[in-house]
Structure 1
Amino acid sequence: MVDRNLVDLQYLEDVLDNFSKATGLHVAIVNKKGESFGIFDTAERCGFCRYIRSKPSGVAKCRASYKQATQEASKWEEPYFFRCRAGLVIWAVPISLRGISLGSIICSQVLLWKPDRFFYQELRELNPEVDDFTEMEKKAGQLDIISPVRFQAAADVLYVTVNQLMKRDLLVLENVETYKMQQRIHKELENRKLKPLSAAKEGDDYGAYLHSERSFLRYIRLGDKSRAEKNLHTLLTQLFVKSSGDQAMIKLRISELATLASRAAVEGGAVAETVMVLLDKFNEKINDCQRMEEFFFHMQHLVTVFLNRSVSLEDKKHGGLVNEAKNFILESYSRSIKIDDVAAQLFISPSHLSRLFRQELNCTVNDYITRVRVEQAVELMKKPELSVAQVSQAVGFQSQSYFAKVFSKHIGVAPLIYRNSLS
C-alpha cells in the first residue's frame, strides 16, 4: 500500500473524489501489485466491469492489468495508456516520491470508439471464461464513449495535480530529514568531545575517512542497504569534521562520493544508463544547495535510490528469504559454507534457494559468497601484518592457489601484486 507517512493519502483521495465527480470517470489508487484500495462512491464500477469481475479469475485479470499499467507508468514517469485484459481503455498516472514508485492512479471504464463487430469478436477472445456473451456484449454497449482529446486532457490534468502533491510532500519530508541530519551531526560532535583527545584525532584523519568510504562502497556493491546507510552517516560526519564545515570542500567531496557510489551501484546490478541520469540530477540539485545539511540530505537520497535500483529486495516476492540468506553469508563467509548450509539456515531446499537468487539477484548463491569473500579480502589486504595466505584463510578459502585465481578474476591482478601496489 502507498505509505501514509510519505503521502497525504486523505488529501489525495479528496482530490481524486472531486476529479471523479467532475469527469464521471472511475478512479482507483493501486499499489505496485495492482491491488486497489481507493475506489470512490461517486463513480462506482460500471456494469461491464462488475460483470467481468464476477467471473472466475476476473479480479485477478483486473489486478494484472493494473500492475502492468503501474509498472509502465513508473518506468516512463508519465501517464500510460493501454487496453486492459478485458478489452477496455485504461490509463495510469504514476505515484512516486524521491524516485521510488509507490503505485499509480488508474482511470478507466470507457471506450474511445463505438463498439463494432470486430470489437465484440475481440471481447469474446479476451474473456473466454464468460458463458453468456449476449449479456457481456449488452453491458459493453452501455459503456461511455469519450473522445481521445478529452481522455488525454483528463490524464494530463490528473498527472499535474498528483505531481504537485508529491512535490509538496517531498518538501515537507526534506525539511524533516534535514533537521534530523542536523541533530545527528550535532550528537556525533558532542560524542567526539567526550572522547580522549588522542582518540578523537585518530578518528578525524583522512585515513579513517577513506576506510569508511571503502566500506561504504563495498556495502553498495553487495546491496547491503542497512549497513550502507549506517556507514554513510558516519562518513558524512567525518567529512564535516575533517573539512571544518567548509561548504566548498564538502560540496567537492560529496560530488566525488556520489560518482564513486554510482559506479558501485552499477557493479551491484543497477542499470548504468539509469544510474547516470540519477547522478546528473543529483549534481544539478547540489549546485543549488546553500547549506551543508542539504548536501548531506541529497546524498542520502541518492544512495537510497541506488540501492533500490540495484536490489529492490523489499519489493520482490521472496525478498525476505534472499535478504536472510545474504545476512547469513555476510556473517559466515570466513567459514567453509556452501549453498546447502545457507539453505539449511533458512529451512528451504538448496534448489529453491538457487532459484530465488537467480530471480532476485541474477546470480548464483556461490557467486554471491565469492563476491563477499573477495570484497572482504580487499579490505584485509590493507593490513600489512597479514600475509596473502592468512588473508586467503581468513575469508574462507581453503586453497591459496584457488584464492589467487578467484581474486585475479574479480580484481584484475594477483593478490601479491595488489598487496605491493598498496605500499
Structure 2
Amino acid sequence: MNKKIEDTDIDKNYLLDVMASFSKATGLYIEAVNNNGESYFKPNNLERSEFCKFIRSQGKCNEKCKESYRVASLEAGKWEEPYFFRCHAGIVIWAVPIIVRGVSVGSIVCGQVLMWEPDEFFYQELKEFNSDIKEFNTLKEKAMKLEVVSADRIQAVADTLFVVVNYLVKRNICILENKDASRLFMQKIRQELEDRKKSHFHKKDDYNSYLKKERKLLSYIRLGDKVNIKNTILNLLGDLYVKARGDKNIIRLRTIELASLISRAAVDGGLDGEIAMTMMEDFNKEICKVDNIECFFYEIYDIARDFLDKIFVLGDKKHISLLKKARNFIIENYSKPIKIEDVAQYLFISKSHLSRLFRKELDCTVNDYITRVRVEKAVELMKKRELSIKDISNRVGFKSQSYFTKVFKKHIDVNPVVYRNKLF
C-alpha cells in the first residue's frame, strides 16, 4: 500500500521550522513531496530557483518535474538513503526519504544546483534535455545563475538532512505514542473510578488492604517489574479513591506520600539518590497545581514510570546492558540455587567485574540482590494459604527453612509466620 505523508501524524509545523532553518543555513531550496511527486509543503517565502520557475512555466514541464520527484522519492524510500539524480531539465537534485515506522511516505527534495561550472558541453546537454523549449537563450542565462556545489558538500548536506529529518520523525512518533499511552491510562483510571462507584465497595474503613497493595507495588518498583507496576498501581489508586471517599485533600496527601515511598523503592532498585530527590521536587511542584482526582492518579503513575526509566541511566551503555541482563537472569532464576558464578558465566564476564558493577551502580553485592529478589517473591507467595512456610522457602530458592526465616526477618523485620498471620 502506497502510504502518503498526508496520512501520517508528522508534525508539519515543526518539520517546516527545521526545513526553514536548514535552507537558511545552506542557502539551498527545500520542499517536502509525497510518493506521487506532489509538493506537500515548503517553508514560507522560499522560492524555487529562477531556472526551475522558468522550466515549470513551459508547456508540460510541470508534470515532468512531478514525475522526476515521484521516481526519486520511490528510489530514496526503496534504498532508505538519499537518492541523487539529474531532473528532466538536467540539474542536480536529491531526495531524502521520510521513513515512518519502516514505511517510506515521501521525501524532502533539496538542491536545484550544478556540480560543475557551466561549459559548452553542459549547454549542449541542456539543449538536448530541453529540446521543446524555444527560448533557449533565456534558459541558458538562468542556468548560469545556478549555484555550483561540490560532490563532497552535496553528500554531506544530504546525509545531515537525512539524519535530522528521520530523527525528528522518530521523535514525533515517540511523543505521539506517549500521548496515546497517557490518554489510554487516563481512560483506565476513569473506568476504574466509575467501577468503584457502581460496585458499592464497602470494606472496613482501615487501610490494611491498601497498604498490602502498596507494599506489593514497592516490591515491583525495586525489581523493575513494569507490567505488574502498571496493573497494581491502577488497583491501588482505586482503593485509595474508595478509602478517601473522593476527598481531594486526603487523596493529594496520600498521593504525595506514595510518591515519596516509590522514590525510596526506586533508589533501592538502583536509581541515583540525587536524581530521585530532584524528580521528587519537580513532582511536588506539579502536584500542587493539580485539582482533579484523575490527574492526581496520573501524576503518580507518571512519576513511577519515570523512576523506572531512569533507574538504568547510569553512565556507560555497556554497563547498563550488562546490569539489565544480570537482573533479568536473577529474576528468571531466583528459585534455583544460583550464585554469582552463574550470573557471571551467563554474561561471559568475570566475577570480579560483575561484583564491581553491582557495587558501583546498585550499591549492593550480587548475592544481596539475589536475596532481595527471593524475599520479595516470598512476600508475594505468603498470601497463598495452601503453601507452608517450608514450601515457600523452597520455591524461592532457600534449601534451609531456618536460614530462610533468618533472612526474611532481617529484611522484613518479622519472621515469616508472624508476617503471614498479619495478612489474614
Q: TM-score, normalised by structure 2?
A: 0.49
| Structure label with greater radius of gyration | 2
Q: TM-score, normalised by structure 1?
A: 0.49
